[in-house]
Amino acid sequence: MNDRRVVITGLGAVTPLGNDVETFWTNLKNGVSGIRLVEAFDTTQHDCKIAGEVRGFEPKRYFKNPKDLRRTDRFAQLAMAAARMALDDGGIDLERVRRDRFGVIVSSGIGGLKTLEEQYRILLTKGPSRNSPFTIPMLISNMASGLISMEYGLQGPNLCIVTACATSNNAIGESWRTIKFGDADIFLAGGSEAAIVPIGLAGFAAMKALSLRNDEPERASRPFDRDRDGFVIGEGAGVVVVEELEHAKKRGAKIYCEVAGYGLSADAYHMTAPPPEGEGAARAMQLALEHARLSTSEVDYINAHATSTGLGDISETRAIKKVFGDRAYQVPISATKSMTGHLLGGAGAVEMAACALAIRDSVIPPTTNLENPDPECDLDYTPNVAREKKVRIALNNSFGFGGHNATLVATAFEG
């Protein structure tokens, strides 16, 4: 089964840069920031007052039954929208595919935090008799996958992988693995997050993880810059159609790229900090390249995890050097979180879409706000302006709290 090739045939994204893939991609290429002062709630008592919010989102467009909106958390609504976009973009006629071989792995790092916060407030102020009977289904992280399968009658493998900020990459990677093993032909895979709520913002701020550059939000996310002071939380969803090659060919699907490799590892080091030399991240990248049967000399682009934290950016830089050696200085890298903020469990799939589009359009998006490079971050991070370059092979890195590392390899499709 391992010779089954796997491709990406559809993209869906709801992001701070736009509520569809092409708007997101246009803004990403142009270096537009989606980070603003938080509008969803009053941040007067919060130290951090900025985030990458999804604006103008109309969830009712993506549900057959309007009643379902009252029974779903925002993270699931975002996931449903991205899944619908990916299906439409992939040109999938559900009447012409085997739904028992159509799987869903759409995950979330945190799940229904908004629901949890709201329902706990009701519990404290009105008593347990007033809590919604949908409290638990709304907040559990697997509900995005469950709802998508119910909406479209998809009866194949269905699960939720929760690995913090590596979640989406693991979802895509395990879809790839399941297809190669022969247990499915096609997946909707990715992740979603909607943690821009008071407890979410307060919790990350209490860790001293967030940027406090409240007076200039667009310049707050500064990966690899010596003046960075933390990451910016974002929300959104990314879902891609992951499909066995012959299955895609038979239905005449357009092919964005091939998923050629997937590597994962654990740091076994610290709850929230990466090891200084990036050993775990390096192992994930190396394994992904080995699965893809590719050498470092063939890689054209790296979409870095690069959240804009002091430890994280340096650790990833060292990991890239560990894997690529001297060639690390020749590979263009970009940190798209400089524009979107950090979408947590939704980040990897949105960034996989960026890799697919970089391959399609021969454009590498920039790392914005890179004005004063950290001396320990001395690679080519595509500073501030997108670059036209043929991209045949791209690496997509995602690393999460708990020491979870996941790397995907996307390649231009050839025959």
Tokens of 178: 């399941």
Contact assessment for residue 57 and residue 78, using Cβ atoms and an 8 Å cutoff:
yes
For residue 352, the one-letter residue type is M
Kindly write down the DSSP assignment for every residue of 65-121, as one continuous string.
Answer: SGGGGGGS-HHHHHHHHHHHHHHHHTT--GGGS-GGGEEEEEE-SS--HHHHHHHHH
**Sheet with 393-400, side-by-side order of all strands:** 102-107, 186-193, 236-244, 6-14, 257-266, 404-411, 393-400, 301-303, 333-334
The H or E element spanning position 356 is helix 347-361
Q: Which of 39, 77, 62, 27 is nearest to 339 (CA)?
A: 27
Coil, strand or helix at 398: strand
Which amino acids are annotated catalytic? 165, 305, 342
Distance CA 359, CA 365 (A): 11
Q: If phi over 0 gives left and psi between -120 and 50 gives alpha, with beta otherwise, what is residue 388?
A: beta
